[in-house]
Amino acid sequence: MCLEAGFDYLSPIFWYKIANAATEVDGNGSTFLGKPYEPNAVIKNDVEYILILRKPGAYRNPTSEQRALSIIDRKDHDRWFRQVWTDVPGQARLQGHPAPYPKEVAFRLINMFSFVGDSVLDPFWGTGTTTAAAIDAHRSSIGYEIEPRYIEVGKARFQQGYIDAKVHFFESLGVAALSAPIEAQTRIVTTAG
């Protein structure tokens, strides 16, 4: 769909996350990744593919101040701009969310592909990890989430750890997205500070 819209596909990042294997096979009746030495075992999902797409059109022209404030130091550049990331461990479930990821992943990507003061869009907000990373990276953030329990976890997260951040929650009903109606949706907006 993105390629049809004109986006360019760049090299992906392979995140070797080394997550909790027991959580990944939970519920399959096994205490091991399959039964020892028998076929049909579960292969541990250690790798996430981070797809990098560039929107069509001319390159941006950030201000010299944005450029200066967005410089990535050499040490981080050497770690972040590799195709395989092995230095960020994964997470098991977080507050009941089945697909959490560490803030470090979002923080790296935000810093790699945006400038200070930019806005970051997260169409699958979850518990707000990308918003937290955007705040830490001095970017604004817009996120969308349809699951009320994740929104509540995210609200608590920002009330506890991001007291000075300007985080606004807007609720709406009957929002249409991608031609499919969504029963309820919350938009979360932060402003860079």
What is the H or E stretch that residue 50 is in? strand 47-50
- Give residue limits of the domains in the chain: 8-190
Architecture field, domain 8-190: 3-Layer(aba) Sandwich (3.40)
Q: Convert the pLDDT of each residue in 114-135 to its tens digit.
A: 999 999 989 888 888 999 999 9
Residue 95's pLDDT is 63
Q: Report the alpha-carbon distance of residue 53 to residue 17 in Å, rounded.
A: 21
Mean pLDDT for the stretch of residues 131-152: 89
What is the H or E stretch that residue 171 is in? strand 167-177
Q: HSE on the CB side for 148, CA within 13 Å?
A: 5
Note whether 105 and 87 are within 8 A (CB).
no
Note whether 100 and 127 are within 8 A (CB).
yes
Q: Give the highest mean pLDDT range of 29-33, 92-96, 127-131, 168-172.
A: 127-131
Mean pLDDT for the stretch of residues 65-74: 96
